[in-house]
Amino acid sequence: QVQLAESGGGSVQAGGSLTLSCVASGRPWSDDVMGWFRQAPGKEREGVAAILPGSGSIYYADSVKGRFTLSRNNAKNTVLLQMNGLRPEDTARYYCAAGPWKYGGNWLRQESYRDWGQGAQVTVSS
């Protein structure tokens, strides 16, 4: 099992920026797909972004394309989600997740992931 710890959440005004960090520990995770999800009150958890091992291919939800940037540093066991141009609708609890790569996986679906962090709250005011 991989232990995941998120940090960097907070409150910002619309148009502001935040960077979420996810630090992994436990079993080796460099071969895992790493994803970020978010869940707003009363809504289902949705995929935000995911990055594959090896190729480093990145997938973004349409709602965050052009505003969020995902990166991973295997040497530092860290995955970063840079969030720019934040909007009130981005308000949610954000979760880091890790899962084994498999051919044809849908990396913005939570069913593709095995290990989850506790989440970090992001609040964007208008």
64-111 confidence digits (pLDDT tens): 999 999 999 888 889 999 999 999 999 999 999 999 988 888 999 999
Q: Mean pLDDT across the stretch 29-40?
A: 93
Token pair for residue 96?
């880091």
pLDDT at 115: 95
pLDDT at 64: 98
pLDDT at 102: 87
> Strand locations in 8-45, DSSP E?
10-13, 18-26, 32-39
Decide if 44 contacts 106 (C-beta within 8 A). Answer: no
Nearest-angstrom CA–CA distance, 60 and 45: 15
User: pLDDT over 70 for what percent of the chain?
Assistant: 100
Provide the pairing of β-strand 18-26 with 78-83.
antiparallel
50-67 confidence digits (pLDDT tens): 999 988 899 999 999 999
